[in-house]
């Protein structure tokens, strides 16, 4: 009876985390999409007479040291962050799925060779590897996206490889081989849908890591470049004004925290609800 009660409580917690994560994620994504289409003010418009004004009915998040509307810049900067994070997932996840599927399914020397390369790349922290790539290719929104995408390939490849190794001897895979189904179809039509819970969880983790990595690079001044707004750059610029204008740091930081929290809870909920019985 106690076991059943604990199991039920765990399921309720999982459902609660999943629902909370989904709600926060939807709200944050809606705000970001609104910011891509419309902002209350021009995010780059400077007005010296309005600098460092606190939150008000006209400027809900206040203004920064140049008199720019903080809410408009948060929404605009979050749009850049979303674009870079999604681009990172497409590049890193796409290449990682192909590499992981091939190595996990075929195994042998092919697996050993590719995974040794994968491990060598993974030995470098993703942000450090991105820094190296950016130092060679240069700064800018799309170059940051490519650099982070390359840096994130090993993590996706490792997750997908493990799932393919687990499923390559499944009954439905063996049956597909026996009736002559071609290998690409087995890899991406038969096996791939069955690893979606783990893959979606990896995507959620990768998305959050990409958001934080982009913010970190922009904070250091080598990510998104002016005039484009960036949450990381806003945090960096606001350091000098923490006493006179703390809202310049609070709202970009809060937006980052809520975005990462929502996607993290959603990814954990997906894995627990749909992949917990593996």
Cα separation, 17 vs 276, whole angstroms: 14
Q: Which residues contact 1 (CB under 8 A, 6 or more apart)?
A: none
Count of the separate structural domains present in the chain: 1
CATH number at residue 257: 1.10.3720.10
Answer whether residue 56 is part of any domain: no
pLDDT tens-place string over residues 165-175: 999 999 999 99
pLDDT at 95: 95
Answer whether residue 100 is part of any domain: yes
As a dihedral over the C-alpha atoms of residue 30, residue 36, residue 38, residue 42, rounded to 10 degrees, the angle is 130
pLDDT tens-place string over residues 86-111: 999 999 999 999 999 999 999 888 88
pLDDT at 275: 58
pLDDT at 277: 45
pLDDT at 6: 57
Answer whether residue 88 is part of any domain: yes
pLDDT at 14: 63
Answer whether residue 42 is part of any domain: no
pLDDT at 132: 83
Answer whether residue 55 is part of any domain: no
Answer whether residue 240 is part of any domain: yes
The pTM assigned to this predicted structure is 0.88
pLDDT < 50 regions, the chain: 277-278
Q: Which residues contact 231 (CB under 8 A, 6 or more apart)?
A: 74, 77, 78, 81, 215, 218, 252, 253, 255, 256
Domain boundaries, position 109: 11-37+61-275
Q: Is the Cβ–Cβ distance between 158 and 95 less than 8 Å?
A: no
Answer whether residue 3 is part of any domain: no
Answer whether residue 168 is part of any domain: yes
Cα separation, 184 vs 179, whole angstroms: 14
């Amino acid at each position: 009876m106690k076991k059943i009660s604990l199991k039920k409580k765990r399921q309720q917690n999982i459902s609660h985390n999943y629902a909370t994560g989904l709600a926060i994620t939807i709200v944050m994504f809606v705000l970001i999409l609104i910011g891509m289409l419309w902002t209350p003010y021009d995010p780059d418009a400077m007005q010296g007479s309005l600098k460092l004004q606190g939150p008000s009915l006209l400027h809900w998040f206040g203004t920064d040291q140049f008199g720019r509307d903080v809410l408009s810049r948060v929404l605009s900067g979050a749009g850049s962050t979303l674009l870079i994070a999604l681009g990172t997932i497409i590049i890193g996840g796409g290449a990682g799925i192909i590499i992981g599927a091939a190595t996990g399914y075929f195994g042998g020397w092919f697996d050993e060779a590719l995974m040794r390369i994968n491990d060598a790349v993974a030995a470098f922290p993703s942000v450090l590897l991105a820094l190296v790539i950016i130092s060679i290719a240069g700064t800018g929104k799309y170059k940051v996206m490519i650099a982070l995408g390359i840096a994130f390939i090993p993590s996706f490849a490792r997750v997908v490889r493990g799932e393919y190794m687990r499923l390559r001897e499944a009954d439905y895979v063996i049956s597909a081989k026996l009736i002559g189904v071609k290998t690409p179809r087995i890899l991406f039509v038969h096996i791939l849908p069955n690893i979606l819970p783990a893959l979606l969880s990896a995507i959620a983790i990768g998305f959050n890591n990409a958001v934080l990595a982009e913010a970190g690079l922009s904070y250091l001044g080598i990510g998104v470049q002016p005039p484009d707004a960036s949450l990381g750059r806003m945090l960096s610029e606001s350091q000098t004004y923490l006493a006179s204008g703390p809202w310049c740091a609070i709202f970009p930081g809060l937006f980052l925290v809520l975005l990462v929290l929502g996607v993290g809870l959603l990814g954990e909920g997906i894995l627990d609800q749909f992949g917990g019985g593996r």
